[in-house]
Amino acid sequence: MIFLVSSCKKEVTKIPVADGEKPLYGQNINLFSYYPDTLNPFLTEIRENYDIMSLVYEPLFAVRERGEEEPCLASAYKFENGGLTVRVMLKDNVKFHSGAVFGADDVIFTLKYIAEYAPNFLYIFDNIKGYSKDGNDVVFNLKSLQFNFVSCLDFPIISKSTDIKSFNENAHYQPNGCGAFEFDANAFKQKEMRLVKNAEYYNPDFPYADSITVKLLKNSPVAVSAFNGNEVSAITSDEFVWGDVSFTNDFTVSEYGGDWFYFLAFNYENALLCDVNVRRMMLSMIDRDDMVQKVFQTHAYATNSILNPMYNYGMVYTDEFDLDNTAGYAKDAGLTDKDKNGIYEKTVDDEVFSLSFSVLADADDDKIMKIADILAQSAKKAKISLNIKRLSNEDYQTAFTEKDYDILLTKEKIRCCDNLASKLDFNGKYEVPYEIYTELANILNGADTENANEKMREFNNLYISLAPCIALCYDSYATLCHGSVKNFTVWRNSRYRGILQSFIKY
């Protein structure tokens, strides 16, 4: 995320020039989706359909692949009330495709709509205490400080005149947004949709393309085939695995950190796991870079803390892998391998405790299973025994609820716009000792608009030193685009948004 003191930056567009030639307006670009379940972007269950609708509907802010937000319908924002209030100023003279003028009432209408009808978007309210309009500004009162809050405002804005019943129930209800493209209802056929350039788009420089033809394809293999055959210009990692794509074609790859955070959580009822030296042993025993290469084919980002290294937190991933360090931490914990069986142990009051732990893992998740095998091998080198309990998802959930494990190998979805302070305990699902939680939370609570990056670095370093859980990696997403389309960029929540600044020819 990017932390801003008073207001957001202006839109920055970098259009390449080839040998003094400028990009040409016009042309048609081919994209794809599956036959839409609905044209309502809030209710569709088809991600590709949402991406297409994001060209029709506009958000207040759009988030780039590394977490930086840029204004769309908003013109600026500023923090007030010590950072607990965020005032969002809106652009003037913006119109919906219907001709109605956009304003604060439309934002309030959209927020109320989401609260009642759009459960998949309710996360935006996680840190909102209340909201209101003030003239043509929208004011958000927050529960706690969140410097990346405007990243939450990357959702479609609908008109206050929207007929909610038809919008929800009529699958072909005419989309009416403020986006760069309008939905051409006259060209909606069984096998394709068509979007046409919005002549009154608030940024007169874009889009370059006159139209978007959306081919409605049957399934993922057909989508991959259409991309390989250059029938469609872009495809996302929802549809392909890397081996499916023909690398003989000319295309660009845009890859960025995803939302799935892989980590080890602890059952602190096990006294050995309450020793930070034991947790630090596990932090040091894992070669995350090797794991990412073997499990994710390098399409993931290693991390030592809850922070995603792809985002602008003012910190970078520092590899902690060092088997020699594990021996040092073992010594600090009073552990030795007296019986020479390859497992560290210690004697307390004539009772022997060994570093032998049960690890709960979901056998229905292929990546988790591969990670489990690597962890067991890594632990053995560090003189730790991990007994992997590979349970079906149903049995896994039961064992998790009953805390029938020492260590939990799992993953949690952490969006780039999530409030980190509320995610420290993973909504109470995973145990983190209160003292550790408090110490980490105090750093975030002490942050303000002047020292945000410094506090994030401090948080990152303390998280690693305390190791309340063992972070492994974040997954990644990718979009491939044929070289025939110039200047295509990827945005996190609206992956086809880069088409606005794309063109075919100079």
Please state the domain extents for the chain. 28-250+483-501, 258-476
The pLDDT value recorded for residue 422 is: 76
pLDDT in tens, 264-281: 999 999 999 999 999 999
The pLDDT value recorded for residue 4 is: 40
What DSSP string describes 210-252?
SEEEEEEESSHHHHHHHHHTTSSSEEETTT--GGGS-TTS-EE
What DSSP string describes 245-288?
S-TTS-EEEEEEEEEEEEEEEE-TTSGGGGSHHHHHHHHHH--H
Domain 28-250+483-501, CATH class in plain words: alpha beta
Nearest to 261 by CA among 480, 427, 409, 453: 409
Give me the mean pLDDT over the 5-31 stretch: 73
**Which of 19-28, 48-57, 114-123, 134-143 is least confident?**
19-28
> For residue 431, is pLDDT > 90?
no
pLDDT in tens, 341-383: 999 999 887 788 899 999 999 999 999 999 999 999 999 999 9
Instruction: Give the number of other CB atoms < 10 A from CB of residue 258.
Output: 23
Are 8 and 74 in contact, with CB atoms under 8 Å apart?
A: yes
Q: Give the up-direction half-sphere exposure of residue 141: CA atoms within 13 A in the CB hemisphere.
A: 6
Same topology, domains 28-250+483-501 and 258-476? Answer is no
Nearest to 96 by CA among 205, 178, 218: 178
Give me the mean pLDDT over the 408-433 stretch: 87
**Which of 152-156, 312-316, 431-435 is least confident?**
312-316
Residue partners of 248: CB distance under 8 A and separation at least 6: none
Torsion sign (Cα): 310, 315, 316, 321: negative
The pLDDT value recorded for residue 236 is: 87
Stated pTM of the model: 0.91
The pLDDT value recorded for residue 380 is: 97
What CATH fold (topology level) applies to the domain 258-476? Dipeptide-binding Protein; domain 3 (3.10.105)
